[in-house]
């Protein structure tokens, strides 16, 4: 399927080398279809790496996806160049009068801070509130999922005894929900986090359904009643080397970091990591785009709460 991006976005060239159909603005103008408009609120420090991972994950559907990127105005990024941000990113104030079929709020390396202490917390709250009337369905990933569960339902996060770091096995809990259509009974997904959310806190809310969980990593996938909010506790978008880069980076810093679980063959960090989660990650994003974005949004997207279904 075509991913529509700016013609000079660095990720575009990499995706094309992988034979993923990427369309620039000029060619998209000649397509007689309504694309799905997705906005990605990218909170990760290495934004270009996250762009590539998410665009790759969104590419496995016949639908045309028009992607916009947003970065918090209340936070100064130190790991991504200002030239890249100025060229490819907008702030919330620049898009808040627009309407989107879908939104992704990424993880962020601030999980050990109280939500209210994060410098862009108020801005993220404003975006989540805005999404009620401007976005059909939002996928919240890792810290983004914990933040949304806290904002919408008052569900707190808690500190883990040690970092959840590696590739974990999960069980599908409710096969009737279209978001997990095509999943095997068990599947693998990466986690990299210091905090978690307790299952019993989620189960207090009847409008939330747990779709997948792990004996070791806990709850992985949660959906609200109408599919307008989806919560993913891990990182199904990660590529093969992401956990390895994080491991070696922390080792070089002298941090106490264990080998990522179920990642390297024979736990040998000199071996090529095993890619065990790509197929289910692709299915997850394809199902989200199809069942909760494309099929829920009318051809002529208009500003009414009734259309958005809230």
User: 3-state secondary structure string, 106-154?
Assistant: CCCCCCCCCHHHCCCHHHHHHHHHHHHHHEEEEEEECHHHHHHHHHHHC
Residue of 111, 142, 191, 213 with catalytic role: 142
Q: Reply yes or no on whether 237 is catalytic.
A: yes
Residue 235 catalytic? Answer: yes
DSSP state of 261: B
Torsion angle of the four alpha carbons 103, 60, 295, 182, in this order, in degrees rounded to the nearest 10: -110
| Cα first-last separation, the chain | 29
Catalytic residue among 134, 191, 235, 280: 235
Q: Which of 123, 213, 237, 280 is catalytic?
A: 237
> From CA 224, how far away is CA 226, in angstroms rounded?
6
Q: Which two tokens stand for residue 144?
A: 């983004």
Catalytic: 142?
yes
Instruction: For residue 103, give the nearest of 140, 75, 66 by alpha carbon.
Output: 140
Give phi and psi for 181, each to the nearest 5.
-65, 130
What residues are labeled active site? 142, 235, 237
């Amino acid at each position: 399927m075509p991913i529509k991006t700016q013609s000079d976005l660095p990720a575009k060239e990499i995706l094309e080398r992988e034979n993923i159909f990427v369309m620039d603005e000029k060619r998209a103008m000649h397509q007689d279809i309504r694309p799905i408009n997705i906005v990605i609120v990218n909170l990760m420090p290495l934004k270009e790496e996250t762009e590539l991972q998410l665009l790759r994950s969104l590419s496995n559907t016949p639908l045309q996806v028009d992607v916009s990127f947003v970065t918090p105005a209340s936070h100064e990024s130190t790991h991504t160049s200002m030239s890249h941000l100025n060229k490819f990113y907008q702030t919330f104030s620049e898009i808040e009068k627009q309407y989107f079929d879908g939104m992704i709020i990424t993880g962020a390396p601030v999980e050990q801070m109280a939500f209210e202490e994060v410098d862009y917390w108020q801005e993220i709250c404003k975006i989540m509130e805005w999404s009620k009337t401007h976005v059909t369905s939002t996928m919240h990933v890792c810290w983004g999922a914990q933040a949304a569960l806290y904002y919408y339902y008052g569900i707190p996060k808690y500190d883990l005894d040690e970092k959840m770091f590696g590739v974990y096995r999960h069980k599908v809990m409710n096969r009737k929900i279209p978001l997990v259509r095509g999943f095997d009974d068990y599947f693998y997904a990466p986690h990299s986090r210091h905090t978690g959310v307790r299952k019993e806190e989620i189960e207090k809310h009847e409008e939330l359904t747990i779709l997948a969980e792990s004996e070791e990593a806990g709850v992985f996938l949660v959906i609200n009643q109408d599919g307008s909010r989806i919560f993913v506790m891990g990182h199904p978008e990660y590529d093969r080397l992401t956990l390895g880069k994080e491991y070696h980076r922390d080792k070089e810093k002298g941090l106490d970091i264990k080998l990522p679980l179920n990642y390297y063959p024979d736990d040998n960090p000199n071996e090529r990591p095993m890619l065990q989660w790509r197929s289910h990650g692709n299915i997850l994003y394809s199902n989200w785009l199809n069942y909760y974005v494309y099929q829920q949004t009318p051809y002529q997207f208009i500003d009414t709460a009734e259309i958005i279904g809230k």
